[in-house]
């Protein structure tokens, strides 16, 4: 059976929080500083730092220090790896099986 990479878990857990997903969504457009990000959510700067810590730990955010500022960049590579191992294998013929058993119904 296909085995799970040890750090897949960190990526999944990082994605499990809506604030962190929203942060990634913001970083998709451009890198942002920690304070900038904290100002956009109803949590304190320290709370944002914890979230960023989780994201960095999972490899989803790369840090670039520029003077006294810290720019947080999105790194989409872990998401891509995860998609290869976990998303695509689930898209195959399971739907057909469910349809055949009448547990799922075609839309419309």
Partner DNA sequence: ATGAAAGGGGACAAAAAGGTCACATATGGA
Partner DNA sequence: TCCATATGTGACCTTTTTGTCCCCTTTCAT
From the list 5, 9, 45, 53, which residue makes contact with its own copies (rule: CB under 8 A)? 9
Closer residue to DNA (CB): 34 or 75: 34
For residue 79, what are its two tokens? 């998401």
Q: Which does 50 bind (CB under 5 to 8 A by kind): DNA, its own copies, none?
A: DNA
Report angle CA 77, 83, 89 to the nearest 5 degrees: 155
Host H or E run for residue 90: none
Q: Does 86 bind its own copies (CB under 8 A)?
A: yes
| Total H helices, total E strands in the chain | 6, 3
Give the nearest distance from C-beta 88 to its own copies in angstroms.
8
Listed residue (98, 57, 96) closest to 78, CA to CA: 57
19 in Cβ contact with 41 (< 8 Å): yes
Sheet holding 69-74, edge to edge: 32-33, 69-74, 61-66
Q: Does 101 bind its own copies (CB under 8 A)?
A: yes
Residues forming the site for its own copies (CB under 8 A): 1-2, 4, 9, 12-13, 15-16, 18, 21-22, 24-25, 28, 62, 64, 73-77, 79-80, 82-83, 86-87, 89-92, 94-95, 97-98, 101, 103-104
Residues forming the site for DNA (CB under 7 A): 13, 16-17, 19, 33-36, 43-47, 49-54, 63, 65, 67-70
């Amino acid at each position: 059976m296909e085995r799970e990479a040890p750090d897949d878990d960190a990526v999944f857990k990082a994605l499990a929080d809506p604030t962190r997903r929203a942060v990634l969504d913001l970083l998709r457009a451009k890198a942002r500083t920690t304070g900038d990000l904290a100002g956009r959510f109803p949590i304190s700067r320290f709370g944002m730092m914890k979230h960023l810590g989780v994201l960095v730990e999972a490899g989803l955010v790369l840090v670039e220090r520029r003077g006294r500022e810290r720019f947080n960049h999105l790194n989409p590579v872990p998401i891509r790896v995860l998609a290869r191992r976990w998303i695509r294998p689930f898209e195959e013929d399971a739907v057909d099986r469910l349809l055949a058993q009448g547990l799922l119904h075609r839309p419309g």
